[in-house]
Amino acid sequence: MAIATDYWKIAESAGLDSKIPSGPIGQKWTKHKFDMKLVNPANKRKFKVIVVGTGLAGASAAATMSELGYKVKAFCFQDSPRRAHSIAAQGGINAAKNYQNDGDSVYRLFYDTVKGGDYRSREANVHRLAEVSVNIIDQCVAQGVPFAREYGGYLANRSFGGAQVSRTFYARGQTGQQLLLGAYSALMKEVASGGVEMFPRREMLDLIVVDGRACGIVVRNLVTGQLETHTADAVCLATGGYGNVFYLSTNAKGSNVTAAWRAHKRGAYFANPCYTQIHPTCIPVHGDFQSKLTLMSESLRNDGRVWVPKKPGDTRPAHEIPEADRNYYLETKYPSFGNLVPRDVASRNAKDVCDAGNGVGATGLAVYLDFTDAIKRDGMSVIEAKYGNLFQMYERITDDNPYKTPMMIYPAVHYTMGGLWVDYNLMSNLPGLHVLGEANFSDHGANRLGASALMQGLADGYFVIPYTIGDYLAKAGPSGVTPDHPEAKKVEAEVKQRIDTFIHMTGKRAVNDFHRELGLLMWDECGMARNEEGLKKALKRIPELREEFWQDVNVTGSPGTLNQCLERAGRVADFLEFAELMCTDALHRSESCGGHFREESQTDEGEAKRKDDEFCYAAAWQYNGVGETPTLHKEALEFENVKLTQRSYK
Amino acid sequence: MSKTINLKLRVWRQASPEQAGKFEDYDAKGISTDASFLEMLDVVNDELERHDIDPIAFDHDCREGICGSCGAVVNGCAHGPESATTLCQLHMRKFKDGDVVIIEPWRANGFPIIKDLVVDRGAFDRIIQAGGYVSIRTGQAPDAHAIPIPKPAADKAMDAAQCIGCGACVAACPNASASLFTAAKINQLALLPQGHPERNRRVVAMVEQMDKEGFGSCSKHYECEAACPKEIKVENITAMNREYRRALIARD
Ligand SMILES: Cc1cc2nc3c(=O)[nH]c(=O)nc-3n(C[C@H](O)[C@H](O)[C@H](O)COP(=O)(O)OP(=O)(O)OC[C@H]3O[C@@H](n4cnc5c(N)ncnc54)[C@H](O)[C@@H]3O)c2cc1C
Ligand code: FES
């Protein structure tokens, strides 16, 4: 049971109002849209909204709010909004269109998502997500997104990530790219119309809160080094996930926790930080120089068979290992789902077989994904048409030809379900601060289903925030804060101070040295499997490492120019603080659920075992200072529609 | 099999847009042939940082060949010697022990240098702002199946849509033309019915913007296609020229 300890405090009263509308699940959103206040069209022009992040969530939000008439300022750290991390998504986007007539519906997508999240998400949010999913596809097609089509000219679908229906829309292996370019084009249209002012190469370094209301940000212009203060009537963060706390992940190199963490330090609660998704099909680590891990699309598991040698330490090449000596462990253990079990299950099983010594490859931390049978069954050309691009990418990175030798894969950090706490309106506990996309915690519970992040980002940006922001602005009115407000000045001065401190750091170690060490620690103690002892070890080590960082890091160059060393130092410093909260959350949640596997809490068969009577809540953490015990606020999760069961994929 | 190699790097260093740049030499020692080109630069940079020397600035993010952030001219080739490959996906096994590797930024009027290998590609955003979109507001869309699109047209539109906006086409072109980039977007939208209502306005505005940004014109060297990591075809430029003429006739 989560009682106060040396590691955390518990809030007397939760004080979290999720603002879930009343009424039956299927009517909540419709009712809410009617109940919300509207801003008169002539007044919309008077409201300013800041959007930080222009990935799927931020670009769609900024464009749509501008179309409605709000004055939008949008920020990203890349040189162009077209390069946000969303661009890397390969597999697809879900929508309950039921174009395949195979039994899909809004309710089924809702149900699957709640179940897939291991019953740790909010029913009302997930239902809304499933409802608007159908509008997303319409919108994207109208923008000219070239989704895959069949010969009849209609859209193609595939089954993805173990779903029993084919509801995933895709554009070759580049769905994220095409969706982002669609949202980017809408954003560029609004830049051209004057509704959006775009600020690329800016990094948000702090949030301005005046009288409890978020109303501005401080950013660093990454080209000139100048600090800039921007104020508005509302702030939306769409800054993505924090997977890079592990150093190695499938995320883009620039992905960071900085924006969310600075907002947290200004009062926004951080929810479920320990919920991270480890993707089962990634190219294994092959050296200390490694800077990132590459995802091999999940779709490969539709045709590839996962196996390891039965005998630990079997070093024979794959083709010399006879059938009898192979262990197709997923097919044996989960006869009805086989190789298509959800990500968390597939990842954990790969870890188990490797921990038992059956792993393959130079490091023993890999399993085979074998297409030999698929090629025999369907022919080379069919497999090539389906996966040609992926096979080529694999060969380019590893120098191995997957048509001839089985691929080697291993799980890698991929997505973070945790994020800033938001209510049904996507507003954090700090009035005025809204959080969208991967940066919030809302829809995926403890595990995200494949092809659902793109859906969520675009749902938040195109179809949710444009409504809920109006309700907030209509009620709150203009903030009246300008950049010369004393609080804005104070925040800017604090940011400047911090940058000066960095620039004066003249230690011996490179920023990456610390990031790598932190990443490894997090992977070992707060990765695919966690236990009390390991987490406590990490909680002891992280503050020491942070101390060492502030003693011994070297930050080169000057603050007044493009300075990538300084940028990295700032991000790593934030990860070093954030990691502690992540481990604390993992320690407090002594149940297993979804991607959070506590070794102490498993079924007799070794599967994740939830403790619904103790942990059926979202854990929202309040910041109390660096290294200080954080305070836990619990948002109880109520399930009125979906019955909580032990997930089983046998 | 992985092994390690040593290289001599000659890297363009330029502190800021105003200052003059020059080549500096660095040793890249003990580089695994399994490392990517950017990982090789990371190794060099970490070592520079430990010695309090400003690391080599370069743009990068996804390191999967899809975001279009990375790019440099390596031994005279945009994105290096391997075809259809971004710099982040180029691996060191393509180099030999002792090789001299010359690394320069994209050089083009339309892409002013910001620092070292980092250039300003804002012109590409402005070309898209001139018309690289369908003017539809959120909420206006009909059902996605309202307009069937023949698969061959959808596939060709996708071929063009794969452009990652890295700028290698400009860097490779003797005239520093942005035709391939601009044409890919124009053609994607011209191939789809959604793009038709605005096609005349779009092509004229985007071509004018491209010229305004200081890019050269296309004189059919086709170096762009050879350098493109996504293998965007020069046919797109032919199609763009056709669209442009068509639009001018329609306007008259
Ligand atoms: C390799 C890979 C494949 C994936 N495949 C799929 C898939 O097939 N289907 C699916 O549904 N999901 C997939 N995902 C997940 C999905 O891509 C992401 O969760 C989603 O795109 C996140 O979108 P976002 O808009 O929230 O954030 P992002 O796209 O990460 O955008 C973040 C934005 O915030 C900006 N930003 C961040 N920090 C700051 C700061 N401090 N200051 C200023 N700006 C900042 C960035 O510049 C960027 O514009 C995949 C993820 C990966 C890594
Ligand atoms: S870093 Fe994204 S394409 Fe190279």
Share of chain B above pLDDT 70, in %: 99
d(CA A414, CA A572): 18
pLDDT of residue A45: 96
Residue range A523-541: mean pLDDT, rounded: 97
Cβ atoms B174, B221 nearer than 8 A: yes
ipTM, two decimals: 0.98
Q: Does B194 touch chain A (CB under 8 A)?
A: yes
Q: Reduce the DSSP state of residue B174 to 3 states and report it.
A: coil
pLDDT digits (tens, 9 = 90+) for B219-232: 999 999 999 999 99
Top-level CATH class of A487-636?
mainly alpha
Alpha-carbon torsion (A61, A67, A70, A75), positive or negative: positive
Domain ranges of chain A: 279-414, 487-636
Measured between CB atoms, which of B135, B142, B162 is closest to A174?
B162
Top-level CATH class of A279-414?
alpha beta
pLDDT digits (tens, 9 = 90+) for A66-76: 999 999 999 99
d(CA A644, CA A611): 11
Catalytic residue numbers of A read 343
Q: Where are the alpha helices (DSSP H) in A399-531?
A: 453-458, 465-476, 486-503, 511-526
Residue A171 above 80 pLDDT? yes
Residue range B85-111: mean pLDDT, rounded: 97
Chain A contact set for B93 (CB, 8 A): 399
Band (A22; pLDDT cuts 50, 70, 90): very high
Q: Can you count the helices (H) and strands (E) in chain A?
A: 18, 20
d(CA A380, CA B139): 43
pLDDT digits (tens, 9 = 90+) for A457-507: 999 999 999 999 999 999 999 999 999 999 999 999 999 999 999 999 999
Among A85, A140, A147, A160, which residue has the most ligand 1 atoms within 8 Å of its CB, making it the best to mutate? A85
Chain A contact set for B32 (CB, 8 A): 287, 289
pLDDT of residue A256: 98
- What residues contact residue B154 under an 8 Å CB cut-off, 6+ apart? A146, A147, A148, A149, A153, B192
- What residues contact residue A268 under an 8 Å CB cut-off, 6+ apart? A207, A214, A260, A420, A421, A428, A429, A430, A433, A435
Band (A56; pLDDT cuts 50, 70, 90): very high
d(CA A221, CA B27): 32
Band (A13; pLDDT cuts 50, 70, 90): confident
Band (A10; pLDDT cuts 50, 70, 90): very high
Band (A606; pLDDT cuts 50, 70, 90): confident
Residue B1 above 70 pLDDT? no
pLDDT of residue B2: 76
Q: Is the CB of A466 less than 8 angstroms away from the CB of B138? A: yes
CATH topology for the B122-251 domain: Fumarate Reductase Iron-sulfur Protein; Chain B, domain 2 (1.10.1060)
Among B36, B42, B58, B60, which residue has the most ligand 2 atoms within 8 Å of its CB, making it the best to mutate? B60
Cα separations (Å) of A477 from A249, A266, A391, A432, A487? 42, 22, 54, 11, 19
Q: Is the CB of B52 less than 8 angstroms away from the CB of A462? A: no
Band (A14; pLDDT cuts 50, 70, 90): low
Residue linked to tokens 């014109």 = B217
pLDDT of residue A456: 98
pLDDT of residue B252: 66
Q: How many CB atoms lie within 10 A of CB B2?
A: 14
Instruction: Specify the ligand 2 atom closest to the Cα of B66.
Output: 3
A393: which DSSP letter?
A: H
Q: What is the largest CA-CA distance in chain A?
A: 74
Q: Name the closest ligand to CA A95.
A: 1
Residue A105 above 70 pLDDT? yes
Measured between CB atoms, which of B85, B133, B189 is closest to A396?
B85
Does the pTM exceed 0.80?
Answer: yes
H or E element at residue A572: helix A564-588
Q: What CATH superfamily is the domain B4-104?
A: Beta-grasp domain (3.10.20.30)
Residue A15 above 90 pLDDT? no
d(CA B45, CA A567): 14
Cβ atoms A175, B170 nearer than 8 A: no
pLDDT digits (tens, 9 = 90+) for B179-188: 999 999 999 9
Sheet (strand A276-282) strand order: A276-282, A407-416, A367-370, A305-309, A326-327
CA geometry: angle A274, A340, A399, nearest 5 deg: 85
Residue range A122-140: mean pLDDT, rounded: 98
For chain B, helix, strand, coil in percent to 5 are: 40, 15, 45
Domain ranges of chain B: 4-104, 122-251
Please, which residues 62-121 of chain B have a Cβ atom closer than 8 Å to chain A? 62-69, 85, 89, 91, 93, 114-115, 118, 120-121
Band (A2; pLDDT cuts 50, 70, 90): low
Q: How far is A634 from chain B (nearest CA, A)?
A: 36
pLDDT digits (tens, 9 = 90+) for A276-333: 999 999 999 988 899 999 999 888 998 999 999 999 999 999 999 999 999 999 999 9
pLDDT of residue A210: 98
Which residues approach ligand 2 with their CB closer than 6 A? B 60-63, 65-70, 86-88
Residue range A259-286: mean pLDDT, rounded: 97
Q: Is the CB of A60 less than 8 angstroms away from the CB of B132? A: no
pLDDT digits (tens, 9 = 90+) for A374-406: 999 999 999 998 888 889 989 999 999 999 999
* Chain B residue nearest residue A199, CA to CA: B122
Band (B198; pLDDT cuts 50, 70, 90): very high
Q: Decide: A415 in ligand 1 pocket, CB within 6 A.
A: yes
Residue A1 above 70 pLDDT? no
Query: Residue B183: what residue type?
Result: A
Q: Decide: A459 in ligand 1 pocket, CB within 6 A.
A: no
A37 burial via Cβ count (<10 Å: 0-12, 13-18, 19+): exposed
Q: How far is B5 from chain A (nearest CA, A)?
A: 14
Cβ atoms A440, A337 nearer than 8 A: no
Atom 3 (ligand 2) nearest CA: B65
Measured between CB atoms, which of A63, A64, A171 is closest to B158?
A171
Cβ atoms A439, A259 nearer than 8 A: yes
Buried b (16+ CB within 10 A) or exposed e, B15-44: beeeeebeeeebebeebbbbbbbbbbbbbb
Cβ atoms A244, A512 nearer than 8 A: no
Share of chain A above pLDDT 70, in %: 100
